[in-house]
């Protein structure tokens, strides 16, 4: 965990938060009351069985929908609607095909009505940071899947949110691209010092990236365990052979042995 966490209040506070979807076919309890915090600059990864409420939790932190019970606070303020303090990366890059890469990355600046001139340089810097310099004027369909996902990470960072929420961001990528993206994401997080909450169904990805891994139970999701990952940073892919890495992945995997497995 980063030095920023020492003694300070978590930047994200999940205070007895539950969610039950009310549908025509009845209530769908999706999350049992959860209590935890994410520290400033921390990389927290959530793993859990399919349908246990991971995306629900992320959407509530983004303010896209309210909890049924409890309160979510970001920077001490209760969240009741979408807020500009977060950037979101979804499983597929969701870039607009008729807009160039640069315009896609600038989209949050446009939507939030921020001064374009001030953020253009930032967009360029971010694209450079993820290795997309020279691709600014291409259309998304002229890029590989990995490049599109890197562009979507730039889009999530362009307005300089303190927090980045990522919902299975690399699920659609092949294994080798995915590993490269993990190394890349670790570097970006270290450089930008963002607080990151990432959801994944890959246990090695979770342990590789995380300061802490939060393991959820089956739906309605509750916290099964939280593991610290004290492996030093920066981590290279070789860390996957480290006995501590192996031990942690085994411990996390053991939560799912008797259940339906991960999604
Ligand atoms: P996860 O991301 O862990 O796979 P979700 O958060 O997407 O799980 O969903 C948790 C549970 O809530 C699932 O059982 C799902 O069917 C249900 N659910 C999700 N969204 C809705 C919705 N809009 N209306 C009703 N039920 C929903
Ligand atoms: Mg989901």
* Statement to judge: residues 65 and 180 lie in one domain: yes
Q: Which atom of ligand 1 is nearest to the CA of 199?
A: 2
What does the pLDDT look like over 6-33, one tens digit per residue? 457 899 999 999 999 999 999 999 999 9
* Statement to judge: residues 143 and 251 lie in one domain: no
Tokens representing 252 are 């996390």
Q: Which ligand is nearest to the CA of 49?
A: 1
44-59 in b/e form (b: 16+ CB < 10 A) is bbbbbbebbbbbbbbb
Does 39 sit in the ligand 1 pocket, CB within 6 Å? no
Residue 203 contacts residue 229 (beta carbons within 8 Å): no
Residue 219 has pLDDT above 50, yes or no: yes
Residue 148 has pLDDT above 70, yes or no: yes
Q: How far is the CA of 54 from the centre of ligand 2 (A)?
A: 5
Q: Across all residues in the chain, what is the average pLDDT?
A: 92
| Domain-located, residue 181 | yes
Does 24 sit in the ligand 1 pocket, CB within 6 Å? no
* Statement to judge: residues 58 and 183 lie in one domain: yes
Predicted TM-score (pTM) above 0.75: yes
* Statement to judge: residues 232 and 105 lie in one domain: no
- Residue 162 sits at φ, ψ, to 5 deg, of -75, -25
| Domain-located, residue 90 | no
* Statement to judge: residues 100 and 71 lie in one domain: no
What does the pLDDT look like over 75-110, one tens digit per residue? 999 999 988 889 999 888 889 999 999 999 999 999
CATH (domain of 14): 3.40.50.300
Total number of domains in the chain: 2
Strand order of the sheet with strand 69-74?
26-38, 12-23, 69-74, 77-78
The pLDDT assigned to 97 comes to: 94
Please state the rounded mean pLDDT for residues 235-254: 97
The pLDDT assigned to 195 comes to: 97
Residue that finishes a domain, picked among 117, 140, 160: 160
Residue that finishes a domain, picked among 108, 135, 160: 160
What does the pLDDT look like over 150-178, one tens digit per residue? 999 999 989 889 999 999 998 888 888 88
The pLDDT assigned to 130 comes to: 83
Its domain, for residue 127, covers: 96-160
Does 30 sit in the ligand 1 pocket, CB within 6 Å? yes
Does 228 sit in the ligand 1 pocket, CB within 6 Å? no
């Amino acid at each position: 965990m980063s030095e920023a966490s020492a003694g300070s209040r978590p930047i994200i506070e999940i205070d007895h938060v539950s969610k039950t979807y009310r549908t025509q076919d009845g209530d769908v309890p999706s999350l049992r009351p959860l209590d935890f915090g994410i520290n400033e600059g921390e990389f927290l990864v959530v793993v859990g069985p399919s349908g246990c409420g991971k995306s629900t939790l992320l959407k509530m932190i983004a303010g896209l929908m309210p909890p049924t019970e409890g309160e979510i606070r970001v920077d001490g303020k209760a969240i009741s609607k979408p807020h500009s303090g977060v950037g979101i990366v979804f499983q597929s890059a969701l870039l607009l095909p008729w807009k160039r890469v640069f315009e896609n990355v600038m989209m949050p600046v446009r939507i939030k009505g921020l001064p374009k001139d001030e953020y253009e340089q930032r967009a360029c810097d971010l694209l450079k940071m993820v290795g997309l310099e020279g691709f600014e004027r291409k259309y998304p369909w002229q890029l590989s899947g990995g490049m599109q996902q890197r562009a979507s990470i730039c889009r999530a960072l362009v307005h300089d949110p303190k927090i980045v929420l990522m919902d299975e961001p690399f699920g659609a990528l092949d294994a080798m691209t995915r590993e490269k993206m993990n190394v890349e994401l670790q570097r970006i997080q270290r450089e930008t010092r963002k607080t990151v909450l990432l959801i994944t169904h890959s246990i090695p990805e979770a342990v590789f990236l995380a300061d802490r891994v939060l393991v959820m139970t089956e739906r309605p999701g509750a916290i099964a365990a939280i593991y610290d990952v004290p492996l030093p940073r920066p981590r290279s892919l070789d860390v996957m052979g480290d006995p501590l890495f192996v031990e942690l992945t085994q411990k996390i995997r053991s939560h799912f042995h008797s259940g339906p497995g991960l999604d």
